[in-house]
Structure 1
Amino acid sequence: MRNIIIIAAAAENNALGKDNDLLWHLPDDFKRFKAITTGHTIIMGRKTFESFPKPLPNRFHVIITRDRSYSTPHEKCAIVHSLKEAYALTQNEETVYIIGGGEIYAQAMADANLLELTRVHATYEADTFFPEIDPTQWELLKEELHPADERHAVPFTYQTYTRRQKSR
């Protein structure tokens, strides 16, 4: 079975970002994101892609944009114009990661079978939000609290959700 995995960090109020930037600095979460996604294809919206200084190393980037004239000089990137096109382009991949932003997460929630969420234990003013996790659709498999420390101003919890099996 193909794995479509959503990976995100969201605040208690589901805030993801503001003005195309993250709202917090969590080095251990960055390390986890890198460890999980390295070697895989990552699917994202154009604004998420443009928030990076350069493409992330050792990952193939599929960028979704409505702009038919959009292009990028980077060879480890492909441009598509819908999530459906992104899935078609990556159909031979066993695992793909959806990495944002808010609109792409909302569209992908129906297709994903795993959520790797970092829940940031604070609330923020934002312009981009993670969709609500419906407990009838998703089951929390595991969680691991990371307390605030000298490198992390706020505590956060790594949470892994799996899609609930439909009862017959």
Structure 2
Amino acid sequence: MIIMIAAVAENNALGKNNELVWHLPNDFKRFKALTTNHHIIMGRKTFESFPKPLPNRTHVVITRQENYQPEGCIVVKSISEAIAKCPKNEDSFIIGGGEIYTLAMPFADVLEITRVHHSFEADAFFPDINKDEWLLVESETNIKDEKHLYDYTYETFVKA
């Protein structure tokens, strides 16, 4: 399956200046648990926002840059080429950024969204989730605490 995974604010904000604008440790743990030992597809800017490649994952990086070849990564030029590089019988995760999510939406089977219950100034946004095309099948709300400044909800959508 092709799974898009993202933390998304109420106004669909993803981040600003190639960084997240919130810190939710539990969401990082969930992201790690879901994506470890899988292929992860991302745009070049998302890849470059990491201090180093994420451990125990195969990185598939989409870029228009010629001769871009970070060590240990699969580099492709399109979302369809990225998906073709992933094993057909395993889950693969699309992890951003905003442009990649928009391009990947037609290919996705599942959306794993962490909805951050706040609006933020941003320059990258998640595409609208069309409620006619996507069915919310699971929802788990988490209340802010000393480590999480915002309430947030894990939402799982499947194609309707």
Q: TM-score range by the shorter chain?
A: over 0.9
Pairing partner for 2:141 from 138, 145, 165: 145
Which residue of structure 2 lines up, in the alignment, with residue 31 of structure 1?
29
Which residue of structure 2 lines up, in the alignment, with residue 103 of structure 1?
99
Give deviations 1:46-68, integer Å, cap 9, x for gaps. Answer: 00000000000000000000001
Aligned counterparts, 1:61-80, within 5 A? 61-73=59-71, 75=72, 77-80=73-76
Percent identity (aligned): 58
Which residue of structure 1 lines up, in the alignment, with residue 109 of structure 2?
113
State how far apart, in whole Å, the 2-side matches of 1:109 and 1:91 are: 19
Query: Could you tell me how far 1:95 is from its partner in structure 2?
Result: 1.3
Q: Is the 8 A contact 1:140 1:160 kept in 2?
A: yes
Query: Could you tell me how far 1:92 is from its partner in structure 2?
Result: 3.5
Query: What TM-score do you get using the length of structure 1 for normalisation?
Result: 0.93
State how far apart, in whole Å, the 2-side matches of 1:114 and 1:121 are: 21
SS in 2 for 1:110: helix
State how far apart, in whole Å, the 2-side matches of 1:27 and 1:58 are: 19
Query: What TM-score do you get using the length of structure 2 for normalisation?
Result: 0.98
**Structure 1 residues without counterparts, runs of 5 or longer:** none
Give deviations 1:142-162, integer Å, cap 9, x for gaps. Answer: 100010000000010000000
Query: Could you tell me how far 1:91 is from its partner in structure 2?
Result: 4.6
Query: Could you tell me how far 1:88 is from its partner in structure 2?
Result: 1.6
State how far apart, in whole Å, the 2-side matches of 1:15 and 1:52 are: 19
Give deviations 1:24-53, integer Å, cap 9, x for gaps. Answer: 000000000000000100000000000000
Aligned pair count?
160
RMSD (CA atoms) = 0.8
Letter of the 2:10 partner, please give it. Answer: E
SS in 1 for 2:121: coil
Q: Is the 8 A contact 1:68 1:81 kept in 2?
A: no
Pairing partner for 1:13 from 11, 21, 24: 11
Matched, 1:161 2:157: yes
